[in-house]
C-alpha cells in the first residue's frame, strides 16, 4: 500500500474499506474479544499469583490434507523457507553515483518547484527544511518533504551487497525500481524501464524511451535497465535472490497510455485502459477530464477492469504480461536465471483475483521457482489461494500480534501464543513458511518509534492493536507522538522483537536501517536516508511540529547492527528455525513470560521471552540424558542467564526484557 500525502479522513475511509473487504470480519472482531478477555484474565492472575501454565494442548492443526494445500505447493518455491529478506527503498538506501542524481526538471509538475531546488544532503537533519522547502511551505508535511530526493541508486546497492551479505541477508525486496516521477515510484511512468535516475545515464535513457511505442519490439535496454540486470547477476552470484515491486493497479500520469489518453481524449487508443468519468469538452475554457484514481489521488490513475470485474482490462493485462516476461527472462532464452526471482504485489486486493490467477501461472511458466508475495493486511487465505500467490506480507499473522505482546504489552503471552497458532492455521502449511514476517515497512512507523510510542491507552482499533492506525503513528496526525531516538530500554524491546522475528516460522524481513538504529514515524519519516558507518550525520534536532526537543545524535548503531547480524546468522545456521514446526510451550500472563519450541527432524530449539520487569525462573521437566545448551540471548551478554538442572527439572533464569534461545540435545555426551 502506498500512503502518500494522505489526509487523515481519507485514511480512516481506507482502513474502514479494508475491513469491509476482509472475508473474515467476524474473525477480526473475535480477536478483539480475545483481547478484552485476556485483560480480565490478567487481572485475575494478578490477584491470585498464578504461576507458569504449561500450554501443551495447542498445536497447529494439520491443514495439509486438503487439495487446496496440494495446489498451493506449486506456487511456493523451496528457497523462500530459508530466506531472510531485506527491504530496500531505492532513493534512500545509498547514493553510489552522484553524477546521476535527479534534477528539478525530473520532478512531476516541476514548474511549481522553486528554482533553488537541490538534492537533499544525505547526512542532513531530516527535520530541517531547506530554503526551497520553506518557499513551498513552513509546514514540514505540506509539500517540500515529498519533493526531496536523496540520490540513492543501483550503484549504491551494488556497493553495499557485501554489507548485506555479511549481515546474513539472502533475499532483497526492492520497493519500485521502475521509472516513476515521485520519490516512491508507485506512480509508474513505465514498467518496462528502470528509473533512469537509478542508472548511469539518465539523459541518454530518456532519449531512448522517448523513441519507443507500446509495441514491445520497440523497447530498448537503457543504461539503467542494463545496470539493473548486472545487479541481478551480482545478487545471484552471491546465492541471494531478488524480488521487485509490481504495481499493477494504477500508474502515474506520465505512463505512456495515460499520457496519450490525457492528450487525445476520446481519440486515444488507450481510452478503455483507464476509468474515464468525463472527457474534456474542447468548447469550454477549463479541462473537464476526470478519471478514477487510487484513493482519489489524481497522480495515480487506476487501470480499468473487465466489465465482469473479474480481470484487468485486456490492454493493461497484456502490457503487464509483456513486462513480466521482460524482467523474469530478460534475454528471452527460456532460462530465468538472468531475471528477478519474484514479485511483491502492491495493493493486491484492489486488482481482480482472476488477473492474479492467470498472472501467477505465467510467472511459474517463466520460472517454476518464483516467489510472489501479495500485499494484504488481513487474513489473506482466500485471496492467496484464489490468486495463486506464494504468501503475503504478514502484518495480520505476525506484526499485529508482536506489537500487542512485545511492544504495547496489551496482548497476554497466552493469547499471543494462541493467536500466532490460529493465524498460522489459516494457511496451508507450505504457505506458512512463505509468509513475509515483517514488523515494519515503508508503510508503517519504524519499529524503534513504534516502541517509543507504545500505545498505553485503549486502542482505537483493538483487532489491529492500533498497528498503522493513523491517529497513532505520526505527529502529522497526533501531536503527542514522539520523534526522539529510542532509549536503551526501548532498544532492548526492539531486540526482543527481532529475536522473535528470526526464530518464528516464516521468512523474516528487515526494513532497511532498522539494524543500524534508524527510527521514525509513519510515511514520510519512515523513509529517511540510510545511516551508514562511513558517513557523519548532523544531529536530529528539528521537530516537525516545532515542539521543544533534545537533539539526538544520528550515527551507525554498531551494537544493534551486531545484534541483527547475530540473530540472522542464528536463523541461517539452524535449519530448524526455517523448517521447523511451532508450538507454544509455557506462558505466564502475570510475569509476561512466553516460551515456544521449534522442531524439525529431531532437532529442537526452545525460545523463551521475558517481557516482564522481574527475573523469571522457567522450569522445564528434563528427560533422561537430555541436555540444554544456551545458543543465543537477546541482550549483549548472557552473564545473567542461569541454567540449572535439579531433580529432573531444568531451571532457566531469564532476566527482565531478555530472551534466550536453547538447543536441546537428546543424546547423552
Phi, psi of 444 (to 5 degrees): -135, 170
| Site for Ca ion contains 101 (CB under 5 A) | yes
Calculated CA dihedral for residues 446, 451, 457, 458, nearest 10 degrees: 50
Note whether 461 and 31 are within 8 A (CB): no
Determine which residue in the list 187, 426, 468, 589 makes contact with Ca ion, applying CB under 5 A. Answer: 468
Residue nearest to Ca ion (CB): 151
Per DSSP, the three-state class of 668 is: coil
CB nearer Ca ion, residue 294 or residue 504: 294
Min. distance of Cβ 450 from Ca ion in angstroms? 11
Min. distance of Cβ 669 from Ca ion in angstroms? 51
CB nearer Ca ion, residue 163 or residue 600: 163
Residue in 76, 108, 92, 106 with CA at minimum distance from that of residue 151: 92
**Choices 87-95, 320-328, 394-402, 416-424 (CB under 5 A): range interacting with Ca ion:** 87-95
C-alpha cell at 478: 497526533
CB nearer Ca ion, residue 24 or residue 275: 275
Determine which residue in the list 205, 443, 485, 597 makes contact with Ca ion, applying CB under 5 A. Answer: 443
CB nearer Ca ion, residue 249 or residue 324: 249
The percent of the chain in helix, strand and coil, each rounded to the nearest 5, is: 40, 15, 45
Residue in 419, 343, 456 with CA at minimum distance from that of residue 594: 419
Min. distance of Cβ 349 from Ca ion in angstroms? 9
Min. distance of Cβ 72 from Ca ion in angstroms? 25
The Cβ of residue 575 has, within 10 Å, a number of other Cβ atoms equal to 14
Note whether 601 and 619 are within 8 A (CB): no
Min. distance of Cβ 101 from Ca ion in angstroms? 4
C-alpha cell at 461: 482499533
Min. distance of Cβ 522 from Ca ion in angstroms? 4
| Site for Ca ion contains 3 (CB under 5 A) | yes
**Choices 133-141, 313-321, 464-472, 534-542 (CB under 5 A): range interacting with Ca ion:** 464-472
Q: Pattern of binders to Ca ion over 229-268, x per CB under 5 A?
A: --------------------x-------------------
Give residues 124-153 in contact with Ca ion (rule: CB under 5 A). Answer: 151, 153
The Cβ of residue 288 has, within 10 Å, a number of other Cβ atoms equal to 12
Q: How far is CA 354 from CA 349, 357, 388, in A?
A: 11, 5, 10
| Site for Ca ion contains 522 (CB under 5 A) | yes
| Site for Ca ion contains 8 (CB under 5 A) | no
Phi, psi of 381 (to 5 degrees): -50, -55
| Site for Ca ion contains 171 (CB under 5 A) | no
CA Rg, the chain, in Å? 25
Q: Can you tell me the distance from the alpha carbon of 341 to that of 322, in angstroms, rounded to the nearest whole number?
A: 16
Phi, psi of 185 (to 5 degrees): 70, 20
Q: How many residues bind Ca ion (CB under 5 A)?
A: 17
Q: Can you tell me the distance from the alpha carbon of 371 to that of 360, in angstroms, rounded to the nearest whole number?
A: 9
Note whether 587 and 421 are within 8 A (CB): no
Q: Can you tell me the distance from the alpha carbon of 544 to that of 522, in angstroms, rounded to the nearest whole number?
A: 13
CB nearer Ca ion, residue 348 or residue 607: 348
Min. distance of Cβ 342 from Ca ion in angstroms? 15
CB nearer Ca ion, residue 86 or residue 248: 248
Determine which residue in the list 31, 95, 418, 610 makes contact with Ca ion, applying CB under 5 A. Answer: 95
Q: Can you tell me the distance from the alpha carbon of 472 to that of 576, in angstroms, rounded to the nearest whole number?
A: 37
Give residues 308-367 in contact with Ca ion (rule: CB under 5 A). Answer: 329, 331, 333, 335, 338, 350
CB nearer Ca ion, residue 283 or residue 333: 333
Which residues of this chain interact with Ca ion, rule CB under 5 A? Answer: 3, 95, 97, 100-101, 151, 153, 249, 329, 331, 333, 335, 338, 350, 443, 468, 522
Amino acid at each position: 500500500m502506498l500512503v502518500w500525502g494522505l489526509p487523515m479522513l481519507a485514511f480512516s475511509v481506507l482502513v474502514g474499506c479494508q475491513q469491509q473487504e476482509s472475508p473474515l470480519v467476524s474473525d477480526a472482531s473475535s480477536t478483539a474479544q480475545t483481547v478484552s478477555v485476556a485483560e480480565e484474565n490478567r487481572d485475575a492472575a494478578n490477584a491470585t499469583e498464578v504461576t507458569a501454565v504449561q500450554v501443551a494442548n495447542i498445536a497447529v492443526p494439520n491443514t495439509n490434507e486438503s487439495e487446496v494445500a496440494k495446489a498451493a505447493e506449486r506456487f511456493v518455491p523451496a528457497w523462500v523457507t530459508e530466506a531472510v529478506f531485506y527491504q530496500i527503498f531505492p532513493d534512500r538506501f545509498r547514493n553510489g553515483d552522484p553524477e546521476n542524481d535527479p534534477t528539478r526538471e525530473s520532478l512531476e509538475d516541476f514548474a511549481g518547484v522553486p528554482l533553488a531546488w537541490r538534492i537533499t544532503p544525505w547526512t542532513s537533519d531530516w527535520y530541517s527544511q531547506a530554503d526551497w522547502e520553506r518557499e513551498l511551505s513552513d509546514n514540514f508535511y505540506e509539500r517540500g518533504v515529498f519533493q526531496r530526493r536523496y540520490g540513492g541508486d543501483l550503484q549504491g546497492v551494488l556497493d553495499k551487497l557485501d554489507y548485506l551479505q555479511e549481515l546474513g541477508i539472502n533475499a532483497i525486496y526492492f520497493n519500485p525500481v521502475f521509472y516513476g516521477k515521485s520519490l516512491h515510484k508507485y506512480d509508474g511512468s513505465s514498467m518496462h524501464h528502470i528509473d533512469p535516475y537509478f542508472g548511469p545515464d539518465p539523459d541518454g535513457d530518456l532519449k531512448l524511451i522517448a523513441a519507443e511505442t507500446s509495441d514491445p519490439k520497440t523497447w530498448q535496454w537503457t543504461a539503467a535497465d542494463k545496470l539493473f540486470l548486472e545487479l541481478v547477476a551480482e545478487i545471484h552470484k552471491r546465492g541471494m535472490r531478488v524480488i521487485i515491486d509490481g504495481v499493477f493497479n494504477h500508474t502515474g500520469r506520465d505512463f505512456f497510455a495515460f499520457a496519450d489518453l490525457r492528450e487525445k481524449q476520446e481519440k486515444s487508443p488507450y481510452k478503455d485502459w483507464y476509468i474515464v468519468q468525463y472527457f474534456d469538452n474542447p468548447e469550454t475554457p477549463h479541462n473537464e477530464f476526470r478519471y478514477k484514481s487510487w484513493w482519489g489521488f489524481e497522480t495515480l490513475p487506476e487501470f480499468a477492469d473487465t466489465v465482469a470485474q473479474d480481470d484487468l482490462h485486456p490492454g493493461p493485462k497484456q502490457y503487464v504480461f509483456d513486462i513480466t516476461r521482460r524482467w523474469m527472462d530478460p534475454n528471452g532464452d527460456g532460462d530465468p536465471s538472468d531475471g528477478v526471482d519474484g514479485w511483491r504485489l502492491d495493493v493486491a486486493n484492489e486488482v481482480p483475483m482472476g488477473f492474479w490467477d492467470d498472472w501467477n501461472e505465467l510467472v511459474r511458466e517463466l520460472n517454476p521457482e518464483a516467489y510472489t508475495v501479495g500485499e494484504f493486511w488481513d487474513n489473506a487465505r482466500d485471496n492467496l489461494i484464489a490468486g495463486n500467490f506464494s504468501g503475503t506480507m504478514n502484518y495480520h499473522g505476525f506484526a499485529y500480534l508482536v506489537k500487542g505482546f512485545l511492544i504495547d504489552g496489551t496482548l497476554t503471552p497466552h493469547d499471543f501464543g494462541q493467536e500466532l497458532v490460529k493465524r498460522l492455521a489459516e494457511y496451508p502449511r507450505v504457505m506458512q513458511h512463505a509468509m513475509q514476517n515483517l514488523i515494519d515497512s515503508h508503510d508503517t512507523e519504524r519499529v524503534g518509534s513504534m516502541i517509543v510510542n507504545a500505545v498505553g491507552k485503549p486502542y482505537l482499533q483493538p483487532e489491529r492493536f492500533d498497528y498503522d492506525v493513523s491517529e497513532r503513528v505520526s505527529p502529522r496526525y497526533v501531536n503527542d507522538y514522539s520523534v526522539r531516538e529510542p532509549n536503551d530500554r526501548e532498544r532492548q524491546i526492539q531486540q526482543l522483537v527481532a529475536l522473535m522475528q528470526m526464530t518464528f516460522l516464516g521468512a523474516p524481513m528487515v526494513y532497511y536501517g532498522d539494524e543500524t538504529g534508524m527510527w521514525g514515524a509513519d510515511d514520510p519519516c519512515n523513509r529517511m536516508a540510510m545511516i551508514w558507518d562511513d558517513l557523519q550525520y548532523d544531529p536530529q534536532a528539528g521537530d516537525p511540529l516545532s515542539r521543544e526537543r533534545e537533539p539526538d545524535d544520528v550515527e551507525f548503531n554498531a551494537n544493534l547492527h551486531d545484534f541483527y547480524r547475530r540473530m540472522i546468522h542464528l536463523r541461517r545456521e539452524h535449519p530448524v528455525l526455517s523448517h521447523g514446526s511451532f508450538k507454544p510451550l509455557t506462558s505466564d500472563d502475570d510475569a509476561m513470560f512466553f516460551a515456544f519450541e521449534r522442531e524439525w527432524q529431531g532437532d529442537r530449539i526452545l525460545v523463551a521471552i521475558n517481557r516482564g520487569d522481574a527475573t523469571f525462573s522457567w522450569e522445564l521437566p528434563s528427560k533422561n540424558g537430555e541436555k540444554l545448551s544456551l545458543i543465543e540471548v537477546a541482550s549483549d551478554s548472557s552473564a545473567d542467564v542461569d541454567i540449572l538442572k535439579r531433580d529432573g527439572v531444568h531451571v532457566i533464569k531469564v532476566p527482565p526484557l531478555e530472551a534466550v534461545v536453547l538447543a536441546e540435545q537428546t543424546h547423552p555426551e
